[in-house]
Amino acid sequence: MGDHGHQKNQGNCDSSVAPKTNNKIHDFNKSIKLKYVKLGYHYLISNFMYIMLFPLLLFTITSTQFSTNTLTSITNLWAQLEFNFLTVIFCSLFLVFLSTLYFMSRPRKIYLVDFACFKPEPNRRCTREEFVKLSGLTGIFSEENLMFQKKILERSGLGQSTYFPEALMRTPPNPCMAEARKEAETVMFGAVDELLEKTGVKTKDIGILVVNCSLFYPTPSLSAMIVNHYKLRGNVLCYNLGGMGCSAGLISIDLAKQLLQVHPNSYALIVSMENITLNWYFGNNRSMLVSNCLFRMGGAAILLSNRSSDRHRSKYQLIHTVRTHKGADDHSFSCVFQEEDDTGEVGVALSKDLMAVAGEALKTNITTLGPLTLPMSEQLLFIATLVARKVLKMKKVKAYIPDFKLAFEHFCIHAGGRAVLDELEKNLELSEWHMEPSRMTLYRFGNTSSSSLWYELAYSEAKGRIRRGDRTWQIAFGSGFKCNSAVWKALRTIDSANEINNPWMEEINGFPVHVPKVTPILL
């Protein structure tokens, strides 16, 4: 009887589960069919010209009369030109002139020869527990705000091996100009030394220097410190970008690109970093304490070239740069704001509306970038849904989000924080594999500001993911508010075994690690 009852209950259980299982199978089959329909549509649109060319070619071959007339016309034309050498010479010179004009007016190709990311020494590592302990020893933060910082760290996506400058790891901390200069020199010279070792470029060959650091801009400037240390030539073009936030790295790339268009046969050195020694917040305003928990020590150096002879040894070619600035809107302008708190302590306040502002900036940016990079199939779908919603007022039609995975193989999203990465993963419909470089960079190195994009690209290289022809989209956000993009095309397959001075190589086999997703804390 017991067995019979068990079998009866089992039968009831199966009967209740069966419809759910069938529904899941049905939904799975439906999604597979839709996937193949979309792939078929994409293939059809992408190869439309080739598909139409075949019947046209077939028609031409079968049209004997047409072919005969064409050959006769060509023969007659040659016979006429045979007796008019002046016309032939003039036409030839005109064609040469047009060709020369065309090639001279084309923009110069910009190559990324190589880049290097600074990796601090092991004694600069700071665990989450050490961070909270050091904060507590200052005697400045209230008990509630110490707990607040601890919770932020637990939910931030940062791991246990991020780096802090020496001045902030002392008891008590010693934030002063001398220590800030020491941090800047350590990061900048460390990254540039590694880059020069990688590329073999001599310092006298560097004609353009762009340095960006948002919150630390001493006199003489950071760029002058590099000129002095490496004894760069007297006519080097120097630029020092300050106060432009975490997206300044791509602004530096864009600036160098513009300069390389008008200065032939040149190298451009870009150094991207942030300095936190003098920008540690010693107060109890929670909107300013968040930046203490996220920002860490780091920097990168990048070498660009417009020399055609450098193509064979360069890693990437710069395809597009797109810059978006929402500073005209007061709400966007003030969402990341450096100011004094009620007690006179200076800090960077982050608004609760930061994610909404970033989302709007991203939409504007991809509206410009999309037509430059997306295949025609995605552009047609986007235009169709836009017309349906805006012109035909069909409110039931959902806004179409283009599939950027058809345009790019790799994504480097600024590791500003876990909430930023979660939002972009959702909005761009990216997979965990696509988000892995950004999440692992945040976990291992923290928010290194404008240099985080290069730690992410270095991660993809260390994993052996970069293949010749692959396209990489770098996306960065910064105060102001700005959203900037850069698109790179790999000129060769990157062999991770041959990589030197890659900050990931010694520990890449331990990644990826699992970073649990938790709900963010409200300020």
- The whole-angstrom distance between residue 114's C-alpha and the CA centroid of its chain comes to 16
Q: Catalytic: 414?
A: yes
Taking CA 339 as the corner, what is the angle to CA 441 and CA 276, rounded to the nearest 5 degrees? 35
Check 410, 483, 501, 502 and give the catalytic one. 410
Q: Residue 456: name the closest of 318, 300, 323 by CA.
A: 300
Dihedral sign, CA of 95, 97, 100, 106? negative
3 state DSSP class of 318: strand
Check 240, 279, 293, 414 and give the catalytic one. 414
Contact 274, 330 (CB under 8 A): no
Q: Catalytic: 410?
A: yes
Query: Can you read off the two tokens belonging to residue 12?
Result: 């009831």
Indicate the DSSP class of residue 295. B
Contacts of residue 35, defined as CB under 8 A and 6 or more positions apart, other chains included, come to none
Q: Catalytic: 292?
A: no
Cα–Cα distance for residue pair 117/123, rounded to 1 Å: 18
Beta strands in 182-266 (DSSP E): 206-212, 237-241
Contact 379, 370 (CB under 8 A): yes
The runs of H, that is alpha helices, within 295-417 are 330-333, 354-373, 376-390
Q: Residue 302: name the closest of 324, 274, 270 by CA.
A: 270
Query: Using H for helix, E for strand and C for coil, what is the string for 195-211?
Result: HHHHHCCCHHHEEEEEE
Q: Catalytic: 246?
A: yes
Check 292, 325, 501, 502 and give the catalytic one. 325
Distances (CA, A) of 231 to 150, 206, 303: 45, 11, 17
Contact 270, 226 (CB under 8 A): no
Contact 196, 226 (CB under 8 A): no
- The whole-angstrom distance between residue 348's C-alpha and the CA centroid of its chain comes to 23
Q: Catalytic: 126?
A: no
Other residues' Cβ atoms within 10 Å of the Cβ of residue 412: 26
Taking CA 121 as the corner, what is the angle to CA 118 and CA 127, rounded to the nearest 5 degrees? 105
Residues making up the chain, counted from first to last: 523
Check 447, 484, 501, 502 and give the catalytic one. 447
Query: Can you read off the two tokens belonging to residue 398?
Result: 């959902």
Check 246, 335, 412, 483 and give the catalytic one. 246
Crossing angle (nearest 10°) for helices 177-199 and 222-230: 50
Name the residues annotated as catalytic.
246, 325, 410, 414, 447
